Amino acid sequence: MKIENPIAFSFIMPDELYLLNKDKATTTATAAAAATATATIPSARAPVVKTQLVNFNFMGGNKKKFLVIAHYPELEFIHDTHLTALENIFKRLEFSLDDAAIFNIAKYANINHQQILDFFKPGKLLILGSHAIPDGAAELTLNQPRQINNCNTLFSFSFDEMMDSNENKKAFWEQMKKL
């Protein structure tokens, strides 16, 4: 059997082959051509390396790509009274908990901003409190909405800071309407 491209032969005969001495002389020229072909054609048996996405545990359905990042080290997601307040805010903005994802960053110590964006792909991002700012996030100013990577981002007070202060609640609400 005569094969013009030695790489194609590896698809037909996957086992090792041994040449006889009389065959070695005729294959020397084709081996040189094969060496240049292998430099430009990737091997069929090269392992494929895939980077795994980090899988996050979050609350909500994330249907409208509205991500809320909070920081509650002692809880899985968010405090019940804070969740009720957040759901009321969502209702006023014509969102529901099913439209958003509530992510507790306190449960993920070595996670960065880009990994979060890659997983959730948010169109809107609300960061509640300075402890909830992910590593590697752009410089954020309190209650100043900002467009970052095609995502409307708002860094605001945590619910603990808002629950006792009407001024903080008002400042937060004014910016949430713009988000």
Together in a domain, 83 and 151: yes
Q: Judge whether 144 lies within some domain.
A: yes
Q: Judge whether 95 lies within some domain.
A: yes
Q: Is the pTM of this model over 0.85?
A: no
**Averaged pLDDT for residues 69-81:** 93
The angle subtended at Cα 132 by Cα 126 and Cα 133, nearest 5°, is 80
What per-residue confidence (pLDDT) applies to 126?
94
pLDDT value at 164 more than 90? no
Question: Tens of pLDDT along 14-44?
Answer: 566 566 666 665 555 555 555 555 555 555 5
Distance of CA 35 to the CA centre of its chain: 40
Three-class secondary structure of residue 69 per DSSP: strand
Q: In the structure encoding, which two tokens stand for residue 163, read together?
A: 């629950």
The residue segments making up the domain with residue 158 are 66-178
Question: Tens of pLDDT along 93-103?
Answer: 999 999 999 99
